[in-house]
Structure 1
Amino acid sequence: MACSGKGGTGKSTVSVLVGARLASLGKRVLLIELDSGLRSVDIIAGVYGRTVYDIEDVLCGRCDGDKAVVQSPLYPGLSVISAPYEGGIVRTAPLSRLTAAMSPYFDFILFDTAAGMGPAFEAGAAICSRALVVLTPDPVALRDGRIVADRLIADGHPQDALRLVINRLMPDSFGKHAPVYDLDECIDTVGIQLLGVLPESRELQRCAMLGEALPEDCMASLVGSAMAGRLLGQRIPLLV
Protein backbone atom coordinates (compact mmCIF):
# COMPACT_ATOMS: atom_id res chain seq x y z
CA MET A 1 0.00 0.00 0.00
CA ALA A 2 1.26 3.48 -0.88
CA CYS A 3 -0.05 6.20 1.41
CA SER A 4 0.69 9.71 2.67
CA GLY A 5 -0.73 12.11 5.17
CA LYS A 6 -0.42 15.08 2.84
CA GLY A 7 -1.61 15.40 -0.75
CA GLY A 8 0.77 16.22 -3.59
CA THR A 9 3.65 14.01 -2.49
CA GLY A 10 3.66 12.00 -5.73
CA LYS A 11 2.14 8.86 -4.23
CA SER A 12 0.46 7.71 -7.45
CA THR A 13 3.60 8.30 -9.50
CA VAL A 14 5.64 6.29 -7.00
CA SER A 15 3.00 3.53 -7.02
CA VAL A 16 3.24 3.16 -10.80
CA LEU A 17 7.04 3.41 -10.73
CA VAL A 18 7.46 0.69 -8.10
CA GLY A 19 4.85 -1.51 -9.75
CA ALA A 20 6.50 -1.11 -13.15
CA ARG A 21 9.95 -1.92 -11.82
CA LEU A 22 8.67 -4.99 -9.94
CA ALA A 23 7.10 -6.09 -13.22
CA SER A 24 10.42 -5.54 -15.03
CA LEU A 25 11.95 -8.00 -12.56
CA GLY A 26 9.51 -10.66 -13.69
CA LYS A 27 6.77 -10.17 -11.11
CA ARG A 28 3.08 -10.08 -11.99
CA VAL A 29 1.77 -6.85 -10.48
CA LEU A 30 -1.74 -5.50 -10.03
CA LEU A 31 -2.07 -1.85 -9.03
CA ILE A 32 -5.48 -0.93 -7.60
CA GLU A 33 -6.19 2.78 -7.43
CA LEU A 34 -8.37 3.74 -4.47
CA ASP A 35 -8.23 7.54 -4.79
CA SER A 36 -11.79 8.10 -6.04
CA GLY A 37 -12.41 11.46 -7.70
CA LEU A 38 -8.71 12.26 -8.16
CA ARG A 39 -7.85 9.52 -10.60
CA SER A 40 -4.38 9.71 -12.17
CA VAL A 41 -2.93 6.19 -12.24
CA ASP A 42 -4.68 5.49 -15.55
CA ILE A 43 -2.75 8.30 -17.28
CA ILE A 44 0.59 7.52 -15.63
CA ALA A 45 0.32 3.80 -16.47
CA GLY A 46 -0.89 4.50 -20.01
CA VAL A 47 -4.33 2.90 -19.69
CA TYR A 48 -6.34 6.10 -20.10
CA GLY A 49 -9.21 5.48 -22.51
CA ARG A 50 -8.84 1.71 -22.19
CA THR A 51 -10.82 1.27 -18.98
CA VAL A 52 -14.45 0.18 -19.09
CA TYR A 53 -15.00 -0.67 -15.43
CA ASP A 54 -13.37 0.78 -12.32
CA ILE A 55 -12.87 -0.27 -8.70
CA GLU A 56 -16.29 1.12 -7.73
CA ASP A 57 -17.96 -1.15 -10.30
CA VAL A 58 -16.14 -4.15 -8.84
CA LEU A 59 -16.77 -3.37 -5.18
CA CYS A 60 -20.46 -2.69 -5.82
CA GLY A 61 -20.87 -5.96 -7.71
CA ARG A 62 -21.56 -4.46 -11.12
CA CYS A 63 -18.79 -6.57 -12.65
CA ASP A 64 -16.25 -9.22 -11.73
CA GLY A 65 -12.76 -8.08 -10.84
CA ASP A 66 -11.13 -9.50 -13.95
CA LYS A 67 -13.29 -7.30 -16.19
CA ALA A 68 -11.84 -4.17 -14.59
CA VAL A 69 -8.21 -5.26 -14.97
CA VAL A 70 -6.36 -3.45 -17.78
CA GLN A 71 -2.83 -4.30 -18.89
CA SER A 72 -0.46 -1.36 -19.06
CA PRO A 73 0.81 -0.89 -22.63
CA LEU A 74 3.83 0.95 -21.24
CA TYR A 75 5.04 -1.51 -18.62
CA PRO A 76 4.67 -5.23 -19.45
CA GLY A 77 3.60 -7.23 -16.41
CA LEU A 78 1.81 -4.29 -14.76
CA SER A 79 -2.00 -4.37 -14.63
CA VAL A 80 -4.29 -1.66 -13.29
CA ILE A 81 -7.77 -1.32 -11.82
CA SER A 82 -8.60 2.39 -11.96
CA ALA A 83 -10.54 4.50 -9.49
CA PRO A 84 -13.79 6.15 -10.61
CA TYR A 85 -13.75 9.77 -11.75
CA GLU A 86 -16.19 10.64 -9.00
CA GLY A 87 -18.12 9.10 -6.14
CA GLY A 88 -17.71 5.77 -4.46
CA ILE A 89 -16.54 4.76 -1.01
CA VAL A 90 -13.99 1.99 -0.60
CA ARG A 91 -14.99 -0.52 2.07
CA THR A 92 -12.81 -3.17 3.62
CA ALA A 93 -14.93 -6.30 3.15
CA PRO A 94 -15.45 -6.11 -0.64
CA LEU A 95 -11.87 -4.95 -1.17
CA SER A 96 -10.66 -7.92 0.85
CA ARG A 97 -12.76 -10.30 -1.27
CA LEU A 98 -11.36 -8.77 -4.46
CA THR A 99 -7.78 -9.11 -3.18
CA ALA A 100 -8.36 -12.75 -2.26
CA ALA A 101 -9.84 -13.47 -5.70
CA MET A 102 -6.94 -11.78 -7.51
CA SER A 103 -4.04 -13.04 -5.38
CA PRO A 104 -3.59 -16.38 -7.23
CA TYR A 105 -2.91 -14.47 -10.46
CA PHE A 106 -0.47 -11.84 -9.19
CA ASP A 107 2.75 -11.81 -7.20
CA PHE A 108 2.07 -8.30 -5.87
CA ILE A 109 -1.17 -6.39 -5.37
CA LEU A 110 -0.51 -2.71 -4.70
CA PHE A 111 -3.02 -0.18 -3.36
CA ASP A 112 -2.66 3.48 -4.26
CA THR A 113 -4.71 5.10 -1.49
CA ALA A 114 -6.02 8.62 -1.13
CA ALA A 115 -4.04 11.13 0.91
CA GLY A 116 -4.97 11.30 4.57
CA MET A 117 -6.65 8.61 6.64
CA GLY A 118 -10.14 8.37 5.16
CA PRO A 119 -12.07 5.27 4.05
CA ALA A 120 -9.63 4.33 1.27
CA PHE A 121 -6.71 4.43 3.69
CA GLU A 122 -8.65 2.46 6.31
CA ALA A 123 -9.66 -0.24 3.83
CA GLY A 124 -6.17 -0.58 2.40
CA ALA A 125 -4.53 -0.60 5.82
CA ALA A 126 -6.83 -3.37 7.04
CA ILE A 127 -5.68 -5.65 4.21
CA CYS A 128 -2.11 -4.78 3.29
CA SER A 129 0.94 -6.51 4.68
CA ARG A 130 3.34 -3.64 3.93
CA ALA A 131 2.98 0.11 3.51
CA LEU A 132 5.06 2.71 1.70
CA VAL A 133 4.72 6.17 3.24
CA VAL A 134 5.49 8.59 0.39
CA LEU A 135 6.56 12.07 1.44
CA THR A 136 8.29 15.18 0.18
CA PRO A 137 11.17 16.59 2.27
CA ASP A 138 9.25 19.36 4.03
CA PRO A 139 8.15 19.70 7.66
CA VAL A 140 4.40 19.43 7.00
CA ALA A 141 4.69 16.25 4.93
CA LEU A 142 7.08 14.70 7.44
CA ARG A 143 4.84 15.49 10.40
CA ASP A 144 1.80 14.09 8.62
CA GLY A 145 3.82 11.05 7.60
CA ARG A 146 4.66 10.40 11.25
CA ILE A 147 0.95 10.53 12.10
CA VAL A 148 0.19 8.01 9.35
CA ALA A 149 3.03 5.72 10.45
CA ASP A 150 1.93 5.89 14.08
CA ARG A 151 -1.63 5.06 13.05
CA LEU A 152 -0.53 2.03 11.08
CA ILE A 153 1.58 0.78 13.98
CA ALA A 154 -1.25 1.37 16.45
CA ASP A 155 -3.53 -0.67 14.19
CA GLY A 156 -1.19 -3.64 14.41
CA HIS A 157 1.28 -3.23 11.54
CA PRO A 158 4.84 -4.09 12.61
CA GLN A 159 7.21 -1.15 12.31
CA ASP A 160 9.46 -3.18 10.01
CA ALA A 161 6.53 -3.58 7.58
CA LEU A 162 6.54 0.18 6.93
CA ARG A 163 8.94 1.92 4.58
CA LEU A 164 9.63 5.58 3.88
CA VAL A 165 9.95 6.97 0.35
CA ILE A 166 11.24 10.52 0.03
CA ASN A 167 10.10 12.01 -3.27
CA ARG A 168 10.97 15.17 -5.22
CA LEU A 169 14.31 15.78 -3.53
CA MET A 170 15.99 18.93 -4.84
CA PRO A 171 19.55 20.22 -4.34
CA ASP A 172 18.32 22.87 -1.88
CA SER A 173 15.95 20.56 0.04
CA PHE A 174 18.49 20.08 2.85
CA GLY A 175 20.95 22.35 4.60
CA LYS A 176 21.50 24.80 7.43
CA HIS A 177 19.05 27.30 5.97
CA ALA A 178 16.50 24.78 4.66
CA PRO A 179 13.38 23.75 6.64
CA VAL A 180 14.79 20.21 6.89
CA TYR A 181 18.47 19.77 7.70
CA ASP A 182 19.22 16.37 6.12
CA LEU A 183 17.91 12.94 5.21
CA ASP A 184 18.48 11.67 8.74
CA GLU A 185 16.02 14.27 10.02
CA CYS A 186 13.40 12.88 7.62
CA ILE A 187 13.96 9.33 8.85
CA ASP A 188 14.00 10.34 12.51
CA THR A 189 10.85 12.45 12.19
CA VAL A 190 8.77 9.73 10.54
CA GLY A 191 10.36 6.92 12.52
CA ILE A 192 10.43 4.19 9.87
CA GLN A 193 13.10 2.63 7.65
CA LEU A 194 14.00 4.34 4.40
CA LEU A 195 13.22 2.48 1.16
CA GLY A 196 14.42 5.05 -1.35
CA VAL A 197 14.93 8.68 -2.34
CA LEU A 198 13.62 10.02 -5.65
CA PRO A 199 15.17 13.27 -6.87
CA GLU A 200 13.04 15.90 -8.57
CA SER A 201 12.77 14.72 -12.17
CA ARG A 202 11.37 16.64 -15.12
CA GLU A 203 11.52 13.41 -17.14
CA LEU A 204 9.40 11.59 -14.59
CA GLN A 205 6.87 14.42 -14.46
CA ARG A 206 6.71 14.69 -18.24
CA CYS A 207 6.15 10.97 -18.77
CA ALA A 208 3.55 10.85 -16.00
CA MET A 209 1.57 13.75 -17.46
CA LEU A 210 1.72 12.47 -21.04
CA GLY A 211 1.22 8.79 -20.26
CA GLU A 212 4.56 7.78 -21.77
CA ALA A 213 6.94 5.05 -20.68
CA LEU A 214 9.76 6.23 -18.44
CA PRO A 215 13.18 5.53 -20.01
CA GLU A 216 14.89 2.66 -18.21
CA ASP A 217 18.22 4.47 -18.02
CA CYS A 218 16.95 7.64 -16.32
CA MET A 219 17.60 8.23 -12.62
CA ALA A 220 13.96 7.76 -11.61
CA SER A 221 13.87 4.30 -13.23
CA LEU A 222 17.15 3.35 -11.58
CA VAL A 223 15.86 4.45 -8.17
CA GLY A 224 12.58 2.63 -8.81
CA SER A 225 14.47 -0.56 -9.67
CA ALA A 226 16.50 -0.21 -6.48
CA MET A 227 13.34 0.20 -4.40
CA ALA A 228 11.74 -2.81 -6.10
CA GLY A 229 14.86 -4.86 -5.41
CA ARG A 230 14.85 -3.89 -1.74
CA LEU A 231 11.20 -4.94 -1.47
CA LEU A 232 12.32 -8.32 -2.79
CA GLY A 233 14.95 -8.58 -0.07
CA GLN A 234 17.99 -7.46 -2.03
CA ARG A 235 20.66 -5.32 -0.39
CA ILE A 236 21.06 -2.31 -2.65
CA PRO A 237 22.83 0.93 -1.61
CA LEU A 238 21.08 4.27 -1.96
CA LEU A 239 21.61 5.86 -5.36
CA VAL A 240 21.23 9.51 -4.24
Structure 2
Amino acid sequence: MGANVIMVASGKGGTGKSTVAVLLGAELAARGRRVLLVELDSGLRSVDYIAGVYGKTVYDVEDVLNGRCEAGKAVVESPVYRNLYVISAPYSGGHILPAALRVFVEKVGPVFDTIVLDTAAGMGVPFEAAMGVAHRALLVLTPDPVSIRDGRIVCDALEAGGCPEIRLIINKVPRTLANCGIQSLDECIDTVGAQLIGVVPFSTEIQKAGATGAPLAPAGRPRLALRAIAARLCGQYTPLVIR
Protein backbone atom coordinates (compact mmCIF):
# COMPACT_ATOMS: atom_id res chain seq x y z
CA MET A 1 0.00 0.00 0.00
CA GLY A 2 1.46 3.38 -0.99
CA ALA A 3 1.77 6.54 1.05
CA ASN A 4 -0.95 9.15 1.39
CA VAL A 5 0.28 12.10 -0.71
CA ILE A 6 -0.61 15.60 0.46
CA MET A 7 0.28 18.73 -1.49
CA VAL A 8 0.49 22.07 0.33
CA ALA A 9 -0.28 25.03 -1.92
CA SER A 10 -0.97 28.75 -1.76
CA GLY A 11 -2.00 31.46 -4.17
CA LYS A 12 0.50 34.09 -3.09
CA GLY A 13 3.78 34.14 -1.22
CA GLY A 14 3.93 35.02 2.44
CA THR A 15 1.07 32.85 3.64
CA GLY A 16 3.36 30.67 5.74
CA LYS A 17 2.80 27.68 3.47
CA SER A 18 6.21 26.08 3.97
CA THR A 19 6.14 26.57 7.74
CA VAL A 20 2.70 24.96 7.87
CA ALA A 21 3.95 22.09 5.69
CA VAL A 22 6.85 21.35 8.03
CA LEU A 23 4.92 21.73 11.27
CA LEU A 24 2.01 19.62 10.01
CA GLY A 25 4.46 17.00 8.82
CA ALA A 26 5.96 17.03 12.30
CA GLU A 27 2.55 16.58 13.91
CA LEU A 28 1.74 13.65 11.62
CA ALA A 29 5.12 12.14 12.52
CA ALA A 30 4.33 12.62 16.20
CA ARG A 31 1.21 10.50 15.66
CA GLY A 32 3.38 7.58 14.59
CA ARG A 33 3.43 8.24 10.84
CA ARG A 34 6.64 7.93 8.89
CA VAL A 35 6.55 11.22 6.97
CA LEU A 36 8.57 12.37 3.96
CA LEU A 37 8.48 16.11 3.25
CA VAL A 38 9.55 17.01 -0.28
CA GLU A 39 10.25 20.65 -1.08
CA LEU A 40 9.45 21.56 -4.68
CA ASP A 41 10.14 25.32 -4.57
CA SER A 42 13.36 25.27 -6.61
CA GLY A 43 15.64 28.23 -6.00
CA LEU A 44 13.68 29.51 -2.99
CA ARG A 45 14.27 26.75 -0.48
CA SER A 46 13.33 27.28 3.17
CA VAL A 47 12.22 23.88 4.44
CA ASP A 48 15.79 22.96 5.42
CA TYR A 49 15.87 25.82 7.95
CA ILE A 50 12.39 25.15 9.30
CA ALA A 51 12.95 21.40 9.68
CA GLY A 52 16.40 21.85 11.20
CA VAL A 53 18.33 20.09 8.42
CA TYR A 54 20.22 23.14 7.14
CA GLY A 55 23.82 22.17 6.42
CA LYS A 56 23.00 18.46 6.58
CA THR A 57 21.82 18.01 3.00
CA VAL A 58 24.14 16.98 0.17
CA TYR A 59 21.65 16.15 -2.58
CA ASP A 60 18.31 17.76 -3.43
CA VAL A 61 15.04 16.82 -5.10
CA GLU A 62 16.32 17.73 -8.55
CA ASP A 63 19.26 15.36 -8.12
CA VAL A 64 16.80 12.58 -7.30
CA LEU A 65 14.31 13.30 -10.08
CA ASN A 66 17.07 13.58 -12.68
CA GLY A 67 18.65 10.32 -11.58
CA ARG A 68 21.91 11.81 -10.28
CA CYS A 69 21.47 10.01 -6.97
CA GLU A 70 19.24 7.47 -5.27
CA ALA A 71 16.41 8.88 -3.17
CA GLY A 72 17.96 7.50 0.01
CA LYS A 73 21.02 9.71 -0.39
CA ALA A 74 18.89 12.87 -0.50
CA VAL A 75 16.62 12.01 2.42
CA VAL A 76 17.64 13.57 5.75
CA GLU A 77 15.83 12.93 9.02
CA SER A 78 14.99 16.08 10.95
CA PRO A 79 16.99 16.34 14.18
CA VAL A 80 14.09 18.34 15.63
CA TYR A 81 11.13 16.14 14.69
CA ARG A 82 11.49 12.37 14.94
CA ASN A 83 10.12 10.37 11.97
CA LEU A 84 10.06 13.47 9.76
CA TYR A 85 12.31 13.05 6.73
CA VAL A 86 13.16 15.84 4.31
CA ILE A 87 14.30 16.20 0.71
CA SER A 88 15.18 19.84 0.04
CA ALA A 89 14.80 21.87 -3.13
CA PRO A 90 17.97 23.04 -4.92
CA TYR A 91 19.52 26.35 -3.92
CA SER A 92 19.11 27.71 -7.42
CA GLY A 93 17.57 26.75 -10.73
CA GLY A 94 16.17 23.30 -11.18
CA HIS A 95 13.05 21.95 -12.84
CA ILE A 96 10.39 19.66 -11.44
CA LEU A 97 9.24 17.25 -14.15
CA PRO A 98 5.74 15.85 -13.48
CA ALA A 99 6.54 12.43 -14.94
CA ALA A 100 9.70 12.12 -12.85
CA LEU A 101 7.84 13.15 -9.69
CA ARG A 102 5.21 10.48 -10.31
CA VAL A 103 7.86 7.78 -10.71
CA PHE A 104 9.58 8.99 -7.53
CA VAL A 105 6.35 8.94 -5.49
CA GLU A 106 5.52 5.44 -6.71
CA LYS A 107 9.01 4.25 -5.79
CA VAL A 108 9.20 5.68 -2.25
CA GLY A 109 5.50 5.35 -1.46
CA PRO A 110 5.82 1.92 0.18
CA VAL A 111 8.53 3.23 2.54
CA PHE A 112 6.48 6.09 4.04
CA ASP A 113 3.01 6.51 5.45
CA THR A 114 2.63 10.11 4.30
CA ILE A 115 4.38 12.19 1.65
CA VAL A 116 3.97 15.96 1.99
CA LEU A 117 4.76 17.98 -1.14
CA ASP A 118 5.54 21.63 -0.37
CA THR A 119 4.83 23.37 -3.68
CA ALA A 120 5.90 26.83 -4.81
CA ALA A 121 3.43 29.69 -4.36
CA GLY A 122 1.09 30.07 -7.31
CA MET A 123 0.41 27.60 -10.08
CA GLY A 124 3.69 26.91 -11.86
CA VAL A 125 5.31 23.61 -12.78
CA PRO A 126 5.81 22.42 -9.15
CA PHE A 127 2.09 22.97 -8.52
CA GLU A 128 1.10 21.07 -11.67
CA ALA A 129 3.50 18.23 -10.86
CA ALA A 130 2.23 17.87 -7.30
CA MET A 131 -1.40 18.00 -8.41
CA GLY A 132 -0.74 15.04 -10.67
CA VAL A 133 0.16 12.74 -7.76
CA ALA A 134 -1.61 14.19 -4.70
CA HIS A 135 -4.52 12.49 -2.98
CA ARG A 136 -5.34 15.68 -1.09
CA ALA A 137 -4.50 19.38 -1.35
CA LEU A 138 -4.15 21.74 1.59
CA LEU A 139 -4.64 25.32 0.46
CA VAL A 140 -3.00 27.80 2.84
CA LEU A 141 -4.09 31.42 2.88
CA THR A 142 -4.10 34.41 5.19
CA PRO A 143 -7.23 36.41 6.12
CA ASP A 144 -6.88 39.28 3.66
CA PRO A 145 -8.63 40.13 0.37
CA VAL A 146 -5.65 39.44 -1.93
CA SER A 147 -4.87 36.05 -0.40
CA ILE A 148 -8.55 35.09 -0.50
CA ARG A 149 -8.88 36.07 -4.16
CA ASP A 150 -5.73 34.17 -5.11
CA GLY A 151 -6.88 31.23 -3.02
CA ARG A 152 -10.08 31.03 -5.05
CA ILE A 153 -8.06 30.94 -8.29
CA VAL A 154 -5.88 28.12 -6.95
CA CYS A 155 -8.92 26.21 -5.67
CA ASP A 156 -10.52 26.45 -9.11
CA ALA A 157 -7.31 25.14 -10.69
CA LEU A 158 -7.21 22.21 -8.26
CA GLU A 159 -10.81 21.34 -9.04
CA ALA A 160 -10.20 21.60 -12.78
CA GLY A 161 -7.14 19.39 -12.39
CA GLY A 162 -9.19 16.67 -10.74
CA CYS A 163 -7.68 16.90 -7.24
CA PRO A 164 -9.64 14.34 -5.19
CA GLU A 165 -9.87 16.46 -2.04
CA ILE A 166 -9.23 20.13 -1.27
CA ARG A 167 -9.10 21.52 2.25
CA LEU A 168 -8.52 25.07 3.46
CA ILE A 169 -6.12 26.23 6.18
CA ILE A 170 -6.43 29.85 7.28
CA ASN A 171 -3.05 30.86 8.69
CA LYS A 172 -1.70 33.84 10.65
CA VAL A 173 -5.12 34.72 12.03
CA PRO A 174 -4.94 37.69 14.48
CA ARG A 175 -7.18 37.99 17.52
CA THR A 176 -9.21 40.68 15.74
CA LEU A 177 -9.91 41.04 12.03
CA ALA A 178 -10.47 44.78 12.28
CA ASN A 179 -7.44 45.65 10.13
CA CYS A 180 -7.56 42.67 7.75
CA GLY A 181 -10.04 44.04 5.22
CA ILE A 182 -12.55 41.22 5.75
CA GLN A 183 -15.59 40.83 7.96
CA SER A 184 -15.10 37.26 9.18
CA LEU A 185 -13.34 34.01 8.47
CA ASP A 186 -16.57 32.77 6.93
CA GLU A 187 -15.82 35.23 4.12
CA CYS A 188 -12.57 33.33 3.44
CA ILE A 189 -14.36 30.00 3.32
CA ASP A 190 -17.27 31.17 1.17
CA THR A 191 -15.06 33.02 -1.32
CA VAL A 192 -12.49 30.26 -1.79
CA GLY A 193 -15.11 27.52 -1.90
CA ALA A 194 -13.11 24.85 -0.06
CA GLN A 195 -13.96 23.04 3.16
CA LEU A 196 -12.09 24.38 6.18
CA ILE A 197 -9.80 21.94 7.98
CA GLY A 198 -8.14 24.32 10.42
CA VAL A 199 -7.31 27.83 11.64
CA VAL A 200 -3.80 28.67 12.82
CA PRO A 201 -3.41 31.82 14.95
CA PHE A 202 -0.86 34.51 14.25
CA SER A 203 2.08 33.74 16.51
CA THR A 204 5.60 35.04 17.04
CA GLU A 205 6.40 31.50 18.17
CA ILE A 206 5.55 30.16 14.71
CA GLN A 207 7.59 32.97 13.17
CA LYS A 208 10.55 31.86 15.26
CA ALA A 209 9.99 28.23 14.28
CA GLY A 210 9.99 29.26 10.63
CA ALA A 211 13.20 31.25 10.98
CA THR A 212 15.25 29.01 13.26
CA GLY A 213 13.69 25.55 13.29
CA ALA A 214 12.80 25.86 16.97
CA PRO A 215 9.97 23.48 17.98
CA LEU A 216 6.66 24.87 19.24
CA ALA A 217 5.73 24.75 22.91
CA PRO A 218 3.67 21.58 23.56
CA ALA A 219 0.65 23.30 25.08
CA GLY A 220 0.64 26.60 23.19
CA ARG A 221 -2.25 27.69 20.94
CA PRO A 222 -0.26 27.27 17.68
CA ARG A 223 0.80 23.73 18.53
CA LEU A 224 -2.72 22.75 19.56
CA ALA A 225 -4.15 24.19 16.33
CA LEU A 226 -1.68 22.26 14.17
CA ARG A 227 -2.16 19.11 16.23
CA ALA A 228 -5.92 19.35 15.62
CA ILE A 229 -5.40 19.66 11.86
CA ALA A 230 -3.13 16.61 11.88
CA ALA A 231 -5.79 14.68 13.79
CA ARG A 232 -8.41 15.59 11.19
CA LEU A 233 -6.06 14.52 8.40
CA CYS A 234 -5.85 11.15 10.14
CA GLY A 235 -9.64 10.85 10.25
CA GLN A 236 -10.05 11.67 13.92
CA TYR A 237 -13.00 13.84 14.88
CA THR A 238 -11.79 17.09 16.43
CA PRO A 239 -14.15 20.05 17.00
CA LEU A 240 -13.47 22.89 14.57
CA VAL A 241 -13.43 26.32 16.18
CA ILE A 242 -13.33 29.18 13.68
CA ARG A 243 -12.83 31.93 16.25
* TM-score interval for Structure 1 and Structure 2 normalised by the shorter chain: over 0.9
User: How many aligned residue pairs are there?
Assistant: 236
1:169 to 173, 186, 190: 173
In the other structure, the counterpart of 1:234 is 236
**Distance in 2 separating the partners of 1:42 and 1:196:** 24
The Cα shift of 1:171 comes to 2.1
**Distance in 1 separating the partners of 2:80 and 2:41:** 21
In the other structure, the counterpart of 2:10 is 4
In the other structure, the counterpart of 1:203 is 205
Amino acid at match of 1:129: H
Contact 2:143-2:180 within 8 A present in 1 as well: no
* Percent sequence identity over aligned pairs: 57
The normalised TM-score by structure 1 is 0.96
In the other structure, the counterpart of 1:153 is 159
Pick closer, same or farther for the CA change 1:49–1:147 going to 2, 3 Å: same
Structure 2: gaps (5+ residues): 1-6
Amino acid at match of 1:191: G
CA displacement 1:24-45 (0-9 Å, x = unmatched): 0000100000001111000000
Structure 1: gaps (5+ residues): none
Amino acid at match of 1:188: D
CA displacement 1:155-211 (0-9 Å, x = unmatched): 1124xx1000000001232x5x75111011110000010011111110111122112
1:110 to 94, 98, 116: 116
**Distance in 1 separating the partners of 2:90 and 2:118:** 13
Q: Secondary structure at the match of 1:188?
A: helix
RMSD: 1.1
In the other structure, the counterpart of 1:55 is 61
- Any runs of at least 4 consecutive aligned residues in structure 1 with deviations exceeding 3 A, and if so which? none
In the other structure, the counterpart of 1:36 is 42
The Cα shift of 1:91 comes to 0.9
**Distance in 1 separating the partners of 2:75 and 2:49:** 15
In the other structure, the counterpart of 2:216 is 214
Amino acid at match of 2:46: S
CA displacement 1:27-75 (0-9 Å, x = unmatched): 0100000001111000000000000100011111110111100000100
Pick closer, same or farther for the CA change 1:62–1:178 going to 2, 3 Å: closer
**Distance in 2 separating the partners of 1:201 and 1:181:** 21
1:24 to 6, 30, 49: 30
Amino acid at match of 2:148: L
Q: Secondary structure at the match of 2:116?
A: strand
**Distance in 1 separating the partners of 2:163 and 2:100:** 21
The Cα shift of 1:238 comes to 2.6
**Distance in 2 separating the partners of 1:8 and 1:230:** 25
